[in-house]
Amino acid sequence: MKHYFLFDTLIEHEKTAPMLQSAQKLIEFLNIDAISFKGAKADVGSEYMGLEKVKFLEHYAYNLTLAANEKRDILCIEQSSFISHAHSKDILENDESLQKEIAQRLKKQNLTLNLDVNVVLLESLLSEEIGVEKLTSLLKHPFSNFQAALFRGTNACRARKYTKEESLTKVLNSVQLKTIPHASTYESDGYEVLYASPLLAKKLASRAMLDMFDNAADFVLINDARSFVMFDFYQKELEKVAGREIGLGVLSLPELLLLALGNTDKKSIGLHQHKVAISLI
C-alpha cells in the first residue's frame, strides 16, 4: 500500500465539510494509508492562476515540497485541489525559468523545491490500488435502482491530462450506478464568476441543475468542491433565480460509496450537513 497525505483543506471548507468528512470515513473503512496533510496551504482554486500565476505556483509548490520531503504522495478527494497541485507540478517540471523563480521564493521559507511526489485523485486510487473487485465484494446496497447525473464541469478537460477518465467509470460500475446523458456534463457550475458576478454564477448553475433535473436524475454526482458549493449550498438561491423548484440531492463520490458499502448513518458520513436533504436512504 502506498503512503499518502490526505489533502484536507478544501476550497470553501465550511461549505464543503461533508465532502471531507465522508472521504475521511471512506479512507478509514478501506484502510488506506492517508494521514492528514498538516501544514499544507489551503486550496484556492485553479481560477486564481490566471490572476497571479507565480504566486499560485509558489502556493502549490510549497505543498508539493512538504509532501515530497516526507515521501508521501498527495491524495486529493476532488478535482479542484487535484488540478491545482497536478498542474503546478507539470508547469514547474517543464519550465526551467519558473522553476528557478519558485525555488528562490521557497528558499526564503527555508524550503528546497522538491517535485519528487505524485498527485493522485481518489477515483484513480480506488480503481487502480483498491481495485474494482474489492469494491464489488464489499457492496451492500447496489445503486442499480437509481440513475445519477454525473457533472464533471468545465475543468474536467484539464483534469483528464493527469488521470484516466475510465477510472471513475469503473468505480461507478462497481456499485451498479446508472448515469444519464445530459447536455450540461461539461458546462460551467458558475463558481468561477461567483464573487465577480453572483447573479451570472447562479444563472449558470441553475441552468445546469435544471438540465439534470429535467433529464430525470435521482441525484447529482459531483467530483469538484466548487460544484458542491454551487449545487448544494446555493440550491435554494438557484431556484429563486430559475423561478422553479429543483430539490435535487448532491453527492460526492465518497458519500456515494459509503452508502453503497453499507454505511447509512447520515451523521457519520456528513449527509446531515447538506443543505438539500438526501432521500436515497
Per-residue model confidence as pLDDT tens digits over 186-202: 999 999 999 999 999 99
Contact (CB, 8 A) for 191 and 48? no
Per-residue model confidence as pLDDT tens digits over 29-60: 999 999 999 999 999 987 777 779 999 999 99
Q: What is the mean pLDDT of residues 124-130?
A: 95
Cα dist from 48 to 44, 56, 78, 144, 192, whole Å: 7, 7, 17, 39, 9
Q: What is the pTM of this model?
A: 0.95
Residue 138, exposed/middle/buried by CB under 10 A (0-12, 13-18, 19+)? middle
Q: Enumerate domains of the chain plus CATH numbers.
A: 4-121 (1.20.1050.140), 131-273 (3.40.50.11810)
Per-residue model confidence as pLDDT tens digits over 61-111: 999 999 999 999 999 999 999 999 999 999 999 999 999 999 999 999 999
Contact (CB, 8 A) for 3 and 73? yes
